[in-house]
Each structure stands twice: as C-alpha cells, then as structure tokens.
Amino acid sequence: MAGMTKDQQWRAVIEGLAAGLVAVGATGTSSSKVRIESAFSSAWRNWPWTSEFPGVDPASAYICVARSERRNGAMAAFALGRTAEPYLTADYEWWAVEDVLGHLARRDPGVPVEGWSSLAASFAAAMKRRTT
C-alpha cells in the first residue's frame, strides 16, 4: 500500500490473514516453515489484492507469522508451537471477528473484509492439501 513500509505491509497482511482464519474457522494449521511458506505463496499468488502490498515476499511468510505474537498493538496474530493457531489478541478478543476485519479494512484501505477472508480461505485450503 502506498506510503507503508515493508514491515507495515507485512503487519497488515499477517493481521488480516490471522483474523481471516479465525473468521473462516481454520485452526491448528501446521507450524512447519515449508508448509506455511508454500501455502502462503499459493494463496498470495491468486489473491487479487497483492499489488496493494509490493513489499510482501512470500518467502518471508514464516518469519512474519512467527513474529506476529510479539507485535505491539496487533489485533490478530499466530501462536506458533506444534501448530500455528490464529487468534484475536487480548485487547481485541472480546470483539466479533467481523468487527476486527472491518477495522482492518478501514485502517488499511484497499482490501475489503471479504479480501482478508478470501486470503485466509485460500491459505487454509492450501494447508489442507499439503497435510493430506
């Protein structure tokens, strides 16, 4: 997105992905670096809003997912252990996930609520293909 640093672009994408995964009910995905990066790359390649985030390189997806829990002020993140669990952070866990997605859509104009949900659904589908 215009005017956003690479780090800010990654933050927006990871928050949107995590909140989107909560919205579509996808939990407990593999925490494997190869699987996360492969699934993210697959979802990213077909996502209509990639041009809004020119600083996002799918090869960095794992490290950005891993760092998401430590980001101050994040609305959604991943808990990385045996699995990668998307969740709404403590300050926002009482919000409806649709409200979080709406806030992200307003905060980072260019991607509607449905955009984050579609990225998440594609990511979840790609993770499923790689674990079966």
- Domain locations along the chain: 6-131
Question: pLDDT per position in the chain (132 positions), as tens?
Answer: 568 899 999 999 999 999 999 999 987 778 899 999 999 999 999 999 999 999 999 999 999 999 998 888 899 999 998 889 999 999 999 999 999 999 999 988 789 999 999 999 999 999 988 555
Residues 6+ apart with CB under 8 A from 59: 37, 41
Residues in the chain: 132
